[in-house]
Structure 1
């Protein structure tokens, strides 16, 4: 059985998914399985996958689900992965040619040391520049939250042990909502495990105009219960006192948008929530203005 499952949640991205496939075909090591979780696409994604399966040098698994959002696609992926390691590769990204080989070689050397997985760098597909910051010289292990708490920045490529991801609660799903911060499970994993650092670029990324990162203001309005749930967890395990205040303000705002009158009572930081509630109202007004102003 392969060591690594690379899973790709995809929703109407057949025009970029081919780039993912080509980057996987160019890997110097084929010891992986590609799992595509189709989140209700209507653009012919299934036909593309059927065509690729006919000549792919690696195993491809395809799962279709009703559209539920990125986090539900992650839940589906984790429920079907059987390899020791897993890594999410977004539908508009591509791996550098030796990424799988580097992951495999590194893991064989450190797997006995109790790490929860590995963390590597992302680079901009168009400029080649590292997203955010590289890891400090000499850093061999970190939690994801610990990296950001010490001044780190930018998305990073995460490779987790599958047994850990499957032992953690799945992403919460709320009726009528299709967004939950993927860091929810990473925060939980941080409480028990560190990640071994690969201070090299593993993936080239490109942010799409229709991606969730670009549409965050609208996401706040459409998915308030998911955001409030995520902010509650972030307040339980804060990166820093300053970050906890920011999370609390967002928790207040999301709870107000969701119409939850019990948000102070339900908060893990009740006194701080009382103090932050006025800022939460202001943030709610700003979100509405950002979304509705042409």
Structure 2
């Protein structure tokens, strides 16, 4: 019985999927499911996945849906996944050759310990250089929000989540005309009752695309103000420090000016803090507007 689903949200990335597929079929342990959530592609992605299915090297599940953004694809994945554990590998990334084997070995130590909702490993670039910093060797459990705020680590990490927990948490909201809600929301909620086990092993090989959200963050702020406002509200509510809460309050103010939804300023547990952030939020809004163009 398979214990792990590797799911991939994709939108018109047919040209990148072969590289990811090669990394999956070359895993030292192929006892996993690859689930592809096609977010409305029109570039022949479905036909490509059919050819991979016909090769019958790994188990593949493919689902097509209308385009609503990566977070909506995550919602679909969590509805469809049946294995105990899951991880997301983006269409422009690859898995390290022994990633599945090492993930499954590490899962054994937290399988029945529900104090843990996830394990987390490292990302590396295509030359094998670790992205950012490793976890401190003496830390055996961690909260998602502590990775960057308490331990001051840098770089993206690869998280493997307990499916049961992800299914129980509320789905990411869908906003008409927007295509992005930051994906840290579920981890922030799970942080309230469980931990993550950190592992200093490389599980994911990344390459940031010119059209990816990481390289276009200011544009994303302007394109998806309600999605980012939702994320800022959760980060204000669950923030561990005043600095984190105030920073996100500034961003919330900026997003509210883009969306014209000023009621969002009153949806946090810290309304007075948000009011204090209004001047800085207006300045941030002006800065983002100056660095981007309307309908960017």
The offset of 1:239, in angstroms, is 3.4
Q: Which runs of 5+ in 1 are unaligned?
A: none
Q: Determine the structure 1 residue equivalent to 2:283.
A: 282
User: Which residue pairs with 1:292 in the alignment?
Assistant: 293
Give the direction of change, closer, same or farther, for the CA distance of 1:197–1:263 in structure 2 (3 Å limit): closer
Q: How many residues align?
A: 293
Moved more, 21-30 or 102-111: 102-111
Deviates more, 1:264-273 or 1:280-289: 264-273
Provide the rounded CA distance (Å) in 2 between the counterparts of 1:261 and 1:11: 32
**1:120 alignment partner, SS class:** strand
* 1:110 CA displacement: 2.8
| Cα deviation, residue 178, structure 1 | 0.8
Task: Give the superposition deviation at 1:116.
Answer: 0.7
Tell which deviates more after alignment, 159-168 or 169-178.
Answer: 169-178
Kindly tell me: are residues 221 and 12 of structure 1, through their superposed partners in 2, closer, same or farther at Cα, counting changes over 3 Å? same
Equivalent residue, structure 1, for 2:44: 44
Give the Cα separation in 2 of the matches to 1:256 and 1:274.
14
Query: How big is the shift at 1:137?
Result: 1.5
Distance 1:64 1:239 in 2: 38
Q: Aligned partners of 2:6, 2:264: CA distance in 1, in Å? A: 38
TM-score normalized by structure 1? 0.96
Q: In structure 2, how many angstroms separate the alpha carbons of the residues matched to 1:26 and 1:264?
A: 49
Could you tell me how far apart the structure 2 residues matched to 1:236 and 1:285 are?
25
Match of residue 69 from structure 2: 69
Paired position in structure 2 for 1:18: 18
- Residue aligning to 1:111: 111
Equivalence map 1:227-246=2 (5 Å): 227-246=228-247
In structure 2, relative to structure 1, the CA distance for the partners of 1:4 and 1:222 (3 Å cut) is: same
Counterpart for residue 256 of structure 2: 255
Aligned to 1:208: 209
The residue that corresponds to 2:8 in the other structure is: 8
Contact 2:256 2:265 (8 Å CA) reproduced? no
Q: Distance in 2 between matches of 1:58 and 1:263?
A: 45
Q: Quick one: distance in 1 between partners of 2:47 and 2:161?
A: 30
What residue is the counterpart of 2:185 in the other structure? 184
Deviation, structure 1 residue 152? 1.4
Contact 1:36–1:63 at 8 Å: present in 2 too? yes
The 1:96/1:247 distance shift into structure 2, 3 A limit, reads: same
Q: What is the CA distance between 1:135 and its match in structure 2?
A: 0.4
| Cα drift, residue 197 of structure 1 | 1.5
Q: Normalized against structure 2, the TM-score is what?
A: 0.96
Q: Residue 172 of structure 1 corresponds to which residue in structure 2?
A: 173
CA distance in 2, matches of 1:265, 1:57: 52
Is the CA contact 1:8–1:88 (under 8 Å) kept in the aligned structure 2?
yes
Could you list the runs of 4 or more consecutive aligned residues of structure 1 that deviate by over 6 angstroms after TM superposition? Answer: none
Deviation at 1:230, TM superposition (A): 0.7
| SS of structure 2 residue aligned to 1:15 | coil
User: How far apart, in 2, do the equivalents of 1:280 and 1:33 lie?
Assistant: 44
Deviations, residues 249-278 of structure 1 (Å, cap 9, x unaligned): 000110111112334433321111111101
Partner deviation per Cα, 1:92-112 (whole Å, 9 max, x = no partner): 111111111111111123312
Instruction: Give the Å deviation of 1:179.
Output: 0.6
Distance 1:263 1:106, change over 3 A: closer
Partner residue of 1:82? 82
Kindly provide the CA deviation profile for residues 213-232 of structure 1, in whole angstroms up to 9, marking residues without a partner as x: 11111111111111111100
Q: Which runs of 5+ in 2 are unaligned?
A: none
